[in-house]
Structures are given as C-alpha cells and as structure tokens.
Amino acid sequence: MAIAVAFGCQIQSVSAGCGFPPSFSSRHQASNTGTIIVYRPRSIIGAAITTWRFNLNHGTDMRIGNGTYCPLTVLAGDSVISHDNVPFLQEDPQIVHVEPGQTVYFEYAAQLSLIFEVADDQERAARTVSQLVPMEGQVTTDESFTD
C-alpha cells in the first residue's frame, strides 16, 4: 500500500539514501520500518534552482533535484519533513505517518505555489517517480536509529 503526501511532513526516520529504486520498500515488510519517497517532478517552473533543500526530522539538509526522487527509510509511525534552512520560506513542517512496510510518496514541486506535502494520489505519484532518476550523492542515517 502506498500513500502520497505533498509540501510538509513529520516522520520518524531510520535512514535516508537517495539513489535506491522506489520499489525497494518490500524488504521492510517484516520490520518496523517503512519508506517515504520525496520526489520532485520534472518541471520548467523552478528549474533554475538546481536543487531544493529539505530536512527529515529536522536533521541534516538533504537535496532534491528537478526530475529526481530520494527514498527515505523511516521507523513506522510519524516523521517530520520540513525545509528548515531555506531562505524566504517558512519551515512548514509536515507530519507523515508510515505503517510498517508501507511506502508514502511526498511531493516537492513548484506550480503556481510551492507544493511540499504527501501526494494526494499515491498511485499517480508512484507512476511519476518511476519516470524520475534517483538523486545521487546523499546518504544519511538518523542518529536515533540502530539496527
């Protein structure tokens, strides 16, 4: 089961790593983790800003590029996605609830306004992410998570 979220989420994270395929969450089904996939659909709007920053549980700045996605492995329950250190934007923390083994899609896009929330249509979000490329070069682990 997948759920979509846009601009703003709260999430309890386990680890985050951009560069994994969006279907990898099935390996988490027997554990107490799930997956949040933050994605930025390819668009000419906002394309001049090559990467946009966001934070998982107010941790280290992470980045997402135009037409990319970043899968985040999180502990089941609530987590927070925000953009804490972005000039001219409020933090706008978003709470995202993830069940064990579940994948939730979180959209970060600019249209007439900035979208930073769980995607309304999770199935459409999964199709969109399948056409994007992974955001390379960032892997983080929430310090409170241990295997």
Within a domain: residue 143? no
CATH of the domain at 70: 2.60.40
Which pLDDT score, from 0 to 100, does residue 104 have? 95
Within a domain: residue 93? yes
Give the span between the Cα atoms of 119 and 36, in whole angstroms: 11
Which pLDDT score, from 0 to 100, does residue 137 have? 66
Within a domain: residue 92? yes
Within a domain: residue 81? yes
> Tens of pLDDT along the chain (147 residues)?
344 444 333 333 334 455 444 444 444 445 899 999 999 888 877 677 778 888 999 998 898 888 899 999 999 999 999 888 777 676 678 899 999 999 999 988 776 555 667 888 888 889 888 988 887 765 544 545 555
SS3 52: strand
Within a domain: residue 71? yes
Q: Measuring CA to CA, which residue among 6, 28, 25, 95 is closest to residue 58? A: 95
Within a domain: residue 123? yes
Within a domain: residue 79? yes
Which pLDDT score, from 0 to 100, does residue 144 have? 52
Say how many domains are in the chain: 1
Give the span between the Cα atoms of 143 and 56, in whole angstroms: 12
The whole domain housing 113 covers 2-133
Within a domain: residue 83? yes
